[in-house]
């Protein structure tokens, strides 16, 4: 995992009611947080305030799954960066493949969200990844470079984490092979260096207690973004332990 502190981040997606959040905290809370691994949780917006204080006590960072790029006003249904800060968020996931494909979020919108996040002191976790069709056509690196191009002209010291998530591995139970992960992370780090960003790169896509250790051991992998397996306290904790 190299010199940067490893991050295990749990993306709950559109899952989680208040009682489930309480159960998760009760079950997870009995484990002392390891020094060497940073833990973060991204519950849905409705659970940010209710989970904030207890997660802080447990030294788990809080994050949101999306943000809007305007500061305030007539944007019905949207949540702005200051609201996330107010709820205790450090992180915000941007450009998740589900938002790109289902909501139709564009790189231009993601760029606006990056700027708005930095302006208000949030650390974006920028998700990038190719579809199966793109990998098979051999254009993976081109797609990733295009998605990373939103960082052109961004402040060099802006807080940032990247999550490489091959779309075909998200929620499918299929993970990229060690070779694919190593090769692609090397390309992503190269591209980031070219753009002037020396930031952490997480892997995401069907990470679970059974494969976490192997995936986290790949060179250039500095943590994981975990979807499905972050919903249960015990499986999420096992993934954290695999990162120690
Ligand atoms: C994700 O939501 O970013 C993700 C990787 O999901 P899963 O772990 O369920 O594949």
Rounded CA gap, 222 and 101, in Å?
Answer: 26
**pLDDT the model gives residue 227:** 98
CATH number of the domain to which 92 belongs? 3.20.20.70
Q: Is residue 108 part of a domain?
A: yes
Residue closest via CA to ligand 1's atom 8 equals 227
**pLDDT the model gives residue 3:** 63
90 classed as catalytic? no
pLDDT in tens, the chain (244 residues): 346 899 999 999 999 999 999 999 999 987 777 889 999 999 999 999 999 999 999 999 999 999 999 999 999 999 999 999 999 999 999 999 999 999 999 999 999 999 999 999 999 999 999 999 999 999 999 999 999 999 999 998 899 999 999 999 999 999 999 999 999 999 999 999 999 999 999 999 999 999 999 999 999 999 999 999 999 999 999 999 999 9
Task: Kindly name the residue from 38, 61, 96, 197 that is annotated as catalytic.
Answer: 96
Residue closest via CA to ligand 1's atom 1 equals 227
Instruction: Say if ligand 1 is within 6 A of residue 226 CB.
Output: yes
Q: Is residue 203 part of a domain?
A: yes
Q: Is residue 134 part of a domain?
A: yes
Domain count, the chain: 1
Check whether 227 is labelled as a binding-site residue.
yes
Q: Is residue 1 part of a domain?
A: no
pTM: 0.97
| Residue listed under structure tokens 């954290």 | 240
Residue 56 has phi, psi (to 5 degrees) of -60, -45
165 classed as catalytic? yes
Q: Specify the ligand 1 atom closest to the Cα of 228.
A: 9
Q: Is residue 222 part of a domain?
A: yes
Q: Is residue 15 part of a domain?
A: yes
**pLDDT the model gives residue 29:** 86
Q: Which residues of 41-56 are buried (b: 16+ CB within 10 A; e: fewer)?
A: bbbbeebbeebbebbe
Rounded CA gap, 127 and 146, in Å?
Answer: 12
**pLDDT the model gives residue 31:** 78
Q: Is residue 150 part of a domain?
A: yes
Kindly give the distance from the C-alpha atom of residue 149 to the centroid of ligand 1, in angstroms, as a whole number: 23
Range of the domain at 60: 6-242
Task: Kindly name the residue from 38, 165, 191, 222 that is annotated as catalytic.
Answer: 165
Q: Is residue 186 part of a domain?
A: yes
C-alpha atoms less than 13 angstroms from C-alpha of 113 in its C-beta half-sphere: 28
ipTM above 0.90, yes or no: yes
Mean pLDDT score of the chain, rounded to an integer?
Answer: 96
Q: Token pair of 220, please?
A: 């250039």
**pLDDT the model gives residue 2:** 47
């Amino acid at each position: 995992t190299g010199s940067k502190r490893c991050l295990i981040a749990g993306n709950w997606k559109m899952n989680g009611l208040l009682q489930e959040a309480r159960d998760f905290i009760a079950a997870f809370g009995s484990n002392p947080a390891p020094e060497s691994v940073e833990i973060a949780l991204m519950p849905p917006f409705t659970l940010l305030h209710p989970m904030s204080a207890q997660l802080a006590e447990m030294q788990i960072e809080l994050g949101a799954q999306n943000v809007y790029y305007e500061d305030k006003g007539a944007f019905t249904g949207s949540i702005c960066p200051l609201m996330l800060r107010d709820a205790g968020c450090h992180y915000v996931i941007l450009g998740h493949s589900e938002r790109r494909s289902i909501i139709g979020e564009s790189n231009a919108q993601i760029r606006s969200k990056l700027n708005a996040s930095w302006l208000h002191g949030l650390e974006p976790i920028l998700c990038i990844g190719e579809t199966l069709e793109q990998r098979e056509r051999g254009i993976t690196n081109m797609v990733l470079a295009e998605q990373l191009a939103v960082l052109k002209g961004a402040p060099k010291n802006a807080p940032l984490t990247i999550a490489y998530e091959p779309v075909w591995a998200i929620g499918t139970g299929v993970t990229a092979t060690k070779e694919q992960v190593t090769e692609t992370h090397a390309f992503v780090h190269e591209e980031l260096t070219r753009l002037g960003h020396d930031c952490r790169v997480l892997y995401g896509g069907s990470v679970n207690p059974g494969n976490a250790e192997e995936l986290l051991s790949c060179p250039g992998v500095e943590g994981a973004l975990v979807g499905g397996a972050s919903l249960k306290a015990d499986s999420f904790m096992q993934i954290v332990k695999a990162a120690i």
